[in-house]
Amino acid sequence: MVNKKIRRPIIAGNWKMFKTHLKGVKLVQEINYGLDKDLDAEVVVIPPFTALRSVKTVIEADEMKIKLGAQNMHYMSEGPFTGEISPVMLKALNVEYVIIGHSERRQYFDETDELINKKLKKALDVNINPILCVGEPLKIRELGRQKQYVREQLNNCLEGLNKDYIQNIVIAYEPIWAIGTGKTATPEDADFMISFIRQRISRLFSPIISEKIRIQYGGSVKPFNVVPIMVQPEIDGVLVGGASLNAQDFISIINYKKRLKK
């Protein structure tokens, strides 16, 4: 029996290619202002690279509880890779999380499971917590083959990962047809897929690890649908795109528990 209580909820906002560093600073200040004092979830903002330093500066200066993540990284520490960002550079900025294998990177930048596997290993090596994204495209969903598809992604992406560090990974189940489309998986369906992912982690690593690892849902999460998603037994958090760009919307998602009590 899975015990959700041992897993701290994680609510992350992926800003994608939005917000200059100045707008990013304003946004993180507004988010911080609206946070519940007794918040028990982990909150992560994930700005573009150019805003990381500025956002981190205000997080530190105001002693915010908000954590910082990056949207991507290279799998090498340094080298002649024009235009790339090293995980060591991210670590030097006190970046704590990094998204690996977002569907937009897979789709528009041809990232393969093999590459994602290398990035995961490297992120764990330098002690940055990866948020690994998995999820099926619409065609696969229509064929009812989403379990097989996600199983394959997990097998390939997690291959050879060190058992001792695996629980530092957060997995985000993001069905591609739900990203930026306004369509969400039903909460029950998202929970079913996340439960399936947890079973796979149990098989690939161990039942104890599968109980500890946090698995988020992502895809058109908004203030109005976050509560039914977050009350599902297997869902440990949300990865939010569009709605994380607006402070009021993101705050309302983070503070979902307030609405639970009513």
Closest distance to ligand PGA from the beta carbon of 13 (Å): 9
Pairing of strands 170-173, 214-218: parallel
In angstroms, rounded to a whole number, what is the distance separating the alpha carbons of residues 4 and 202? 15
Closest distance to ligand PGA from the beta carbon of 175 (Å): 10
In angstroms, rounded to a whole number, what is the distance separating the alpha carbons of residues 59 and 73? 22
Distances (CA, A) of 228 to 139, 196, 214: 26, 19, 18
Conformational region of residue 92, where left means phi above 0, alpha means psi within -120 to 50, and beta covers everything else: alpha
Is the Cβ of residue 52 or residue 176 nearer to ligand PGA in the bound state? 176
Active site residue 42: no
Could you say whether residue 239 binds ligand PGA (CB under 6 A)?
yes
Is the Cβ of residue 220 or residue 255 nearer to ligand PGA in the bound state? 220
**Which residue in 155, 107, 220, 234 sits closest to 147, CA to CA?**
155
Both tokens assigned to 8: 């701290």
Active site residue 21: no
Residues in region 134-173 near ligand PGA by CB under 6 A: none
In angstroms, rounded to a whole number, what is the distance separating the alpha carbons of residues 249 and 195? 27
Could you say whether residue 218 binds ligand PGA (CB under 6 A)?
yes
Could you say whether residue 241 binds ligand PGA (CB under 6 A)?
yes
Binding mask 12-51 for ligand PGA (x = CB under 6 A): --x-------------------------------------
Of 44, 134, 221, 226, the one binding ligand PGA by CB under 6 A = 221
Kindly report each contact of residues 247-253 with a partner whose C-beta sits within 8 Å and lies 24 or more positions away, as own/partner.
247/27, 247/30, 247/31, 247/33, 247/34, 248/34, 249/222, 249/223, 250/13, 250/31, 251/30, 251/31, 251/34, 251/35, 252/223, 252/226, 253/11, 253/221, 253/222, 253/223, 253/226
Q: Which stretch binds ligand PGA (CB under 6 A): 52-60, 76-84, 238-246, 254-262?
A: 238-246
- Give the residue nearest to ligand PGA (CB): 241
Closest distance to ligand PGA from the beta carbon of 107 (Å): 11
Closest distance to ligand PGA from the beta carbon of 49 (Å): 17
Could you say whether residue 180 binds ligand PGA (CB under 6 A)?
yes
Could you say whether residue 100 binds ligand PGA (CB under 6 A)?
no
Of 111, 174, 191, 236, the one binding ligand PGA by CB under 6 A = 174
Question: Residue 140 is which amino acid?
Answer: I
Active-site residue (options: 42, 104, 111, 174): 174
Show Cβ contacts of residue 95 under 8 Å, excluding neighbours closer than 6 positions: 52, 56, 68, 69, 70, 128
Closest distance to ligand PGA from the beta carbon of 164 (Å): 28
Could you say whether residue 220 binds ligand PGA (CB under 6 A)?
yes
Q: Which residues bind ligand PGA (CB under 6 A)?
A: 14, 174, 179-180, 218-221, 239-243
Q: Which residues are catalytic?
A: 102, 174
